[in-house]
Amino acid sequence: MNFKEQILQGIPSTLPAGKSYPEDANRAPKRKDILSLEEKQLAIRNALRYFPKEWHPKLATEFANELKEFGRIYMYRFKPDYDIYARGIAEYPAITQQAAALMLMIQNNLNPAVAQHPEELITYGGNGAVFQNWAQYLIVMQYLAIMTEEQTLHLYSGHPMGLFPSSKNAPRVVVTNGMMIPNYSKPNDWEKYNALGVTQYGQMTAGSFMYIGPQGIVHGTTITVMNAFRKILKKSENPNGKIFLTAGLGGMSGAQPKAGTIAGCITICAEVNAKAATKRHEQGWVDVLIDDIDELVKRTLKAKKNNEVVSIAFIGNVIDVWEKFDQENIFIHIGSDQTSLHIPWTGGYYPAGLSYEESNVLIKENPELFKEKVQESLRRHANSINNHTKKGTYFFDYGNAFLLEASRAGAAVMAENGIDFKYPSYVQDILGPMCFDYGFGPFRWVCASGLSEDLDKTDAIAATVLKELMQKSPDEIKLQMQDNITWIQDAKANKMVVGSQARILYADAEGRIAIAKAFNDAITKGEIGPVILGRDHHDVSGTDSPFRETSNIYDGSKFTADMAIHNVIGDSFRGATWVSIHNGGGVGWGEVINGGFGMLLDGTTKAEEKLKNMLFYDVNNGLARRSWARNDEAIFAIKREMARTPNLKVTLPNLVEDNLLKDLF
């Protein structure tokens, strides 16, 4: 059968041959053996319901072995034999182009060049799943192929519940991931119910099919690092020869050295997994690969002396680097961490003093001891950071739950009040007040034709639109505008594309709508093919995350999730092609609710109507919430939006004088 025929068949009519696990694959961490005997039997029963009874005796044994070996049932036997990558939209068997766009994005998220653990359907973060198993993938692709414009596919944590009658104006797909009852939203609950096959961790953009490789996090990290240096350097200084020290080169965190190079500094990124570090070096995302701490010191001093812009991957533990640089009195200008501390006990963070291989054995054979080692290392890690910050290092939490898990380990990371952390998150200090509160966030698009020349044309269109908008922009947002004009002009030279022909930049509602309309006009004229719009969930409006996206909300509402829920509901009836809402993200299961969307532009007047309506709400929902929280920049932005849009009426806060509250209690 050819590719289209395989898609259309869904679950094969005859049992496919078994598959052995590829030796060169990057395997997902082994999950906890957390199920009771009865629950393991239930997990097998749950998995077998995808298949005819005559296959059950053979598959039951096979799935039980997967559960024993991996802690999950992935159904390797059913992984299709064709290559998985983002084909041109016309290559997919589909009745509606909207469904074909979704198929393209799903395959992009599972492309081995994009996905962290593609055999396990995990895109990034160690657990960010597109689907729980290969049966779900097969059924979803089949449903999308036969879907009409008057049907909607509903996905429950990867499971295709079915195609339901709807309307042309409804989303074609509605995605939920990990929507647990609150009392069942602890980390072990994810381990248990994911092993049972009834829920999954969608991360942020993985489970909503909107991941575009590391480009998105490169851009966000570039903006963050640039502005971090702006905070600590004089206007006349540049970051050349200045050090940015961090950790993590797998998945999302692998973007850090590329971002540091674009920002113009020395980036040192530690990674305990030699395979991950080597992969980034081979991809050209990191310049130098070093596995000896003394050699790292020598190379760093040389880079400082010569005011270099260079990225260095250190194969080893970042704690050793922090401590060694302290001993050698090497000044670190800015520091952070992007290890996967949302899953600290299953390979997201590796303790000092143990090799990568030794740690993996300990995870499997003695998880309690591994947890003790991790928490001991977090205390060491924090102590060394504290030593450096006393010398003037600017340290920020990069939203990976570093400070949260360090505090739980008893590390010295709390402020004097015993409530707040002593170091800010990057959203509190940088992205919140400088970007999100002004409405600027990660707008992205994918050229569905798969043609690089279409991406070049959209880059040029976006740059032209931004330059025109900047001419009339108020001073408050000119820096954001210029940073993104520079970014889009240099994007091709920085070789950002991995997988689909995709691009990202930060824009506000006005910018997103203007760029999208210009794309739609170009499609109408036949200058480019269809374009898929989306964004990172890490944005103005889509995510409620008290330790990251909404960490600069100070009215007590940062632990509420109304904004994210309203975002996905509001987008769904304003024109999104698909919408998604997830429990969990970069900071952990139970710590965040985040939502996203996808929208196909096909050059029609209907697409223009939808993009104007939906993109406007998608941003301004968040600005309204942020302004109500009394964030000055958001009050400025929403007032400006209301002046532009008479039909928008937002409730504004009346500010209270501090001295009025002093003697009330």
Q: Is 203 annotated as a binding residue?
A: yes
How many Å apart are CA 70 and CA 127, to the nearest integer? 13
Q: Which residues contact 160 (CB under 8 A, 6 or more apart)?
A: 136, 139, 140, 143, 153, 154
Give Cα separations from 457 to 215, 333, 352, 468, 489 (angstroms): 18, 38, 48, 17, 12
Contact 180, 583 (CB under 8 A): yes
How many Å apart are CA 175 and CA 155, to the nearest integer? 5
- DSSP code of residue 659: G
How many Å apart are CA 418 and CA 422, to the nearest integer? 9
Give first-to-last CA distance, the chain, whole Å.
76
User: Locate tokens 């962290």: which residue?
Assistant: 116
Q: What angle do CA 288, 291, 292 make, to 5 degrees?
A: 110
Q: Is 125 annotated as a binding residue?
A: yes
- Which amino acid would we find at residue 457? K
Contact 445, 502 (CB under 8 A): yes
Q: Is 398 annotated as a binding residue?
A: yes
User: Locate tokens 């182009």: which residue?
Assistant: 97
Q: Residue 284: left if φ>0, alpha if ψ -120 to 50, beta else—which one?
A: left
Contact 411, 376 (CB under 8 A): no
| Phi, psi values for residue 276, rounded to 5° | -65, -45
- Which amino acid would we find at residue 255? A
Q: Is 137 annotated as a binding residue?
A: no
Contact 363, 370 (CB under 8 A): yes
Helix axes 256-263, 215-232, angle to 10 degrees: 50
The SS3 assignment for 176 reads strand
Q: Is 438 annotated as a binding residue?
A: no
How many Å apart are CA 336 and CA 40, to the nearest integer? 40
Contact 177, 183 (CB under 8 A): no
The annotation places the binding site for NAD(+) at 125-126, 203, 271, 398, 586
The annotation places the binding site at 125-126, 203, 271, 398, 586
